[in-house]
């Protein structure tokens, strides 16, 4: 079931969704930097954000005060093309004026347990993120949190050793840490997501149902029906 103050926006094309998402992200960044001097954003994996990264790379934005985090990571070597950090770096972050010290990658090359412990130490549980970006799997999973799995929600980061999708070994932020954010933006495209989306809407027990935001959840969709 959606959080009460959620915004739901459906677009007529993928490009329209991408452009609106980019504008949304930039507006949240400008607001956060004006208030606190930094903008902390958690990036999603999957294919949907790739177009958005490409558009952000072309925007005339000062990225010096952006702090980049990741919602989950596959346990691959740092230069593996399916690592979320590698995708974001190659398409966007390497092309803009952001300090490498402001990019906090999940060290999943250490393995799920060691990498999760290391990332737990990087994150400050007392500080909320400004924006968390999430996708939605066709099975209702978010980040690397899958249906019918258990994890310690008192932690910020957990090791995933039995993911039903390759690779089975991953690292993920928990629902509690993902929800410790001022705003959450869901980007959902494709008819294959319709069943999971409707289950979420109806309040079924899925990982996505555990996500909330301090301010607002915004849901942007294309081609769900």
pLDDT digits (tens, 9 = 90+) for 108-130: 999 999 999 999 999 999 999 99
Q: Is the pLDDT of residue 38 over 90?
A: yes
Residue 170: Cβ within 10 Å count? 28
Question: For residue 98, what are the contacts with CB-CB under 8 A and spacing of at least 6?
Answer: 63, 64, 66, 68
Please state whether 165 falls in left (phi above 0), alpha (psi between -120 and 50) or beta. Answer: beta
Q: Would you say domain 7-222 falls under CATH 3.20.20.60?
A: no
Q: Is the pLDDT of residue 3 over 80?
A: no
Q: Does the pTM exceed 0.75?
A: yes
| Extents of the domains making up the chain | 7-222
pLDDT at 165: 93
3-state secondary structure of 69: strand
Determine the average pLDDT of the residues in 46-60: 93
Least confident of 25-29, 127-131, 169-173, 204-208: 204-208
Measure the N-to-C terminal CA separation of the chain; round to a whole number of Å. Answer: 18
- Average pLDDT of every residue of the chain: 96
Determine the average pLDDT of the residues in 149-171: 97
Exposure class string for 153-166: b at 16+ Cβ within 10 A, else e: eebbbbbbeebeee
- In whole angstroms, give the CA distance from residue 98 to residue 84: 17
pLDDT at 4: 76
Assign 1 a pLDDT band (cuts: 50, 70, 90). low
3-state secondary structure of 78: coil
HSE-up of 79 (CA within 13 Å, CB side)? Answer: 0
Assign 87 a pLDDT band (cuts: 50, 70, 90). very high
- In whole angstroms, give the CA distance from residue 181 to residue 73: 19
pLDDT at 48: 80
Q: Let me know if 220 is exposed, middle or buried by CB neighbors in 10 A (0-12, 13-18, 19+).
A: buried
Assign 53 a pLDDT band (cuts: 50, 70, 90). very high
pLDDT at 63: 98
pLDDT at 35: 97
């Amino acid at each position: 079931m959606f959080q009460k103050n959620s915004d739901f926006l459906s677009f007529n094309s993928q490009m329209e969704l991408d452009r609106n998402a980019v504008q949304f992200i930039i507006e949240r960044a400008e607001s956060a930097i004006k208030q606190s001097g930094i903008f902390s954003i958690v990036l999603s994996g999957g294919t949907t954000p790739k177009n958005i990264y490409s558009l952000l790379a072309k925007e005339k934005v000062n990225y010096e005060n952006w702090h980049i985090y990741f919602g989950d990571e596959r346990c691959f070597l740092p230069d593996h093309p399916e690592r979320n950090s590698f995708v974001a770096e190659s398409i966007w972050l390497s092309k803009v004026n952001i300090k490498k010290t402001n990019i906090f990658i999940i060290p999943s090359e250490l393995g799920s347990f060691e990498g999760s412990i290391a990332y737990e130490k990087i994150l400050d549980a007392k500080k909320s993120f400004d924006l968390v970006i999430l996708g939605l799997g066709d099975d209702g999973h978010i980040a690397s949190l899958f249906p019918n799995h258990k994890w310690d929600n008192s932690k910020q980061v957990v090791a995933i050793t039995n993911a039903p999708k390759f690779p089975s070994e991953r690292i993920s932020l928990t629902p509690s840490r993902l929800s410790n954010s001022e705003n959450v933006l869901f980007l959902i495209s494709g008819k294959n997501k319709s069943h999971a989306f409707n289950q979420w809407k109806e309040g079924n027990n899925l990982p996505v149902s555990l996500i909330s935001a301090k301010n607002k959840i915004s849901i942007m969709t294309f081609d769900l029906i």
